[in-house]
Amino acid sequence: MIGYLIAAPFLGLLYMGIHRKVIARIQGRPGPPIWQEILHTLKFSFKETWIPRSASKILYIGIVFIAIAIWVGALYLVLLGGSLLMLFGIYMLQKLVEHGTGLSPGSPYSKFGGIRSVISASSELPLFAVIAGIYFFTGSLMISDIIQYQADNGPLLFSLLPAAIAMYIITLSKMHYGPFSIIEAKEIVSGYRTEHFGAWRAGLEISDGIRTVVLLMTFVLLFWGAMSPVMLFIAMLIILLSMSFVCAVSPMLSPYDSVTVQLIVIVILVAWMAILGLIA
């Protein structure tokens, strides 16, 4: 388990680097090397670190540790096959982290990022449609039971396609440089992370790395089932590449358009799931 914990940030940061590289190549740019995010994190770790005078100090520092703690918890939850409800709870708690990170320094830029995070919280609602769909199909919300169900009955990707699409959109909304990445748009500098620099920023980058691994691994395990570590790595990479393609070819939406598009798509998917449930 300790091995996974050490490997996850590096793997996640590598995935984030690949994500940037693929987006750049599709857009006709050379892009940074794929290990750029790892270098970023190392660089931030050794830069001078202080706390802005206007910040709410305990919250400013504490939120970085909370960010790392919740995603480490999420990683363990996935590896141990724990409750999906708790895992999706952590997905939602990430909104709190973004909000807290944005509000704590007192900067208007980070505050806008935090407020956009609150506005886009509605995009998390499909998680519960996914939960309901999976629960009614498998009769359990324990990830280990869901994996076992797929070993016996085949991947949920085919039998519960609307839930898989909803989950894909949610995962996409949490990736960097995507159409729904309104909380870190360039017009508000780095969004909610603008005022976190030095070691604090390195902490947030590490939590982002672990988050990327958890998001991709959860998608694969929930909708395809268990596989060997190498195959899992490849499957996660394939999902990531598909998301990089979407991010590369779609512009970032305005905040309200982002929420509206997500909600419309999700309402359609929930209706589809309801019809599937009625037929079944």
Partner 1 sequence: MFELASSSIGGQALFVLPFGDIVAYFSPFTAALFLFALIFTLVCIYSRPEKSMDIVFGTDALYAKEVTGKDLHFRRFMAIACGIATMGAVTSGDVFNFTLFVSMVGVCIIGITASVKNSQVQNTAFNYGIVAMLATIPLFGAAAITLAATGTLSIWELSAMAPAMPWIARALILVGVMGEGMAPFYVAKAELTRAPGAPYVLMIHVSSLLMFLRVVEIILTV
Beta pairing partners, 83: 142
Query: Count residues contacting partner 1 (CB under 8 A)?
Result: 46
For partner 1, the binding residues in 19-58 under the rule CB under 8 A are 53-58
Cβ-contact 81, 142 below 8 angstroms: yes
Query: What is the nearest approach in angstroms of partner 1 to the Cβ of residue 108?
Result: 6
Query: What is the nearest approach in angstroms of partner 1 to the Cβ of residue 92?
Result: 5
Q: Which position among 19, 20, 21, 111 is part of the footprint of partner 1 (CB under 8 A)?
A: 111
User: Measured between alpha carbons, how far is 37 from 14 in angstroms, rounded to an integer?
Assistant: 7
Query: What is the nearest approach in angstroms of partner 1 to the Cβ of residue 82?
Result: 7
Q: Which stretch binds partner 1 (CB under 8 A): 95-103, 156-164, 177-185, 271-279?
A: 95-103
Q: Which stretch binds partner 1 (CB under 8 A): 134-142, 157-165, 168-176, 237-245?
A: 134-142
Q: Which position among 72, 125, 189, 265 is part of the footprint of partner 1 (CB under 8 A)?
A: 125
Query: What is the nearest approach in angstroms of partner 1 to the Cβ of residue 132?
Result: 8
User: Measured between alpha carbons, how far is 271 from 159 in angstroms, rounded to an integer?
Assistant: 15
| Residue 91, token pair as written in the block | 């997905």
Cα→Cα distances 98→118, 174, 216, Å: 9, 11, 20
Q: Which position among 36, 45, 49, 140 is part of the footprint of partner 1 (CB under 8 A)?
A: 140
Query: What is the nearest approach in angstroms of partner 1 to the Cβ of residue 236?
Result: 25
Question: Is there binding between residue 82 and partner 1 (CB under 8 A)?
Answer: yes
Q: Which position among 34, 59, 79, 274 is part of the footprint of partner 1 (CB under 8 A)?
A: 59
DSSP-assigned letters across all residues of 27-84 = TT-----TTHHHHHHHHHHTS-----TTS-HHHHHHHHHHHHHHHHHHHHHHHHT-BH
Residue (26 or 274) nearer to partner 1, CB: 274
User: Measured between alpha carbons, how far is 251 from 178 in angstroms, rounded to an integer?
Assistant: 8
The separation between the first and the last C-alpha atoms of the chain, rounded to the nearest angstrom, is: 40
Question: Is there binding between residue 181 and partner 1 (CB under 8 A)?
Answer: no
Going residue by residue from 141 to 160, which x/- string records binding to partner 1, judged by CB under 8 A? xx--x---------------
Question: Is there binding between residue 66 and partner 1 (CB under 8 A)?
Answer: yes
| Residue 103, token pair as written in the block | 């509000």
- Element containing residue 164 per DSSP (H, E): helix 161-173
User: Measured between alpha carbons, how far is 176 from 269 in angstroms, rounded to an integer?
Assistant: 24
Contacts of range 136-143, beta carbons closer than 8 Å, 24 or more positions apart: 136/277, 141/83, 141/84, 141/85, 142/81, 142/82, 142/83, 142/84, 143/77, 143/78, 143/81, 143/82, 143/83, 143/84, 143/87, 143/218, 143/221, 143/222
Q: Which position among 100, 126, 162, 209 is part of the footprint of partner 1 (CB under 8 A)?
A: 100
Question: Is there binding between residue 85 and partner 1 (CB under 8 A)?
Answer: yes
Question: Is there binding between residue 81 and partner 1 (CB under 8 A)?
Answer: no
**Which residues are at the interface with partner 1 (CB under 8 A)?**
53-60, 62, 66, 73, 82-83, 85-86, 89, 92-93, 95-96, 99-100, 103-108, 111, 114-115, 118-119, 121-122, 124-125, 128, 131-132, 135, 139-142, 145
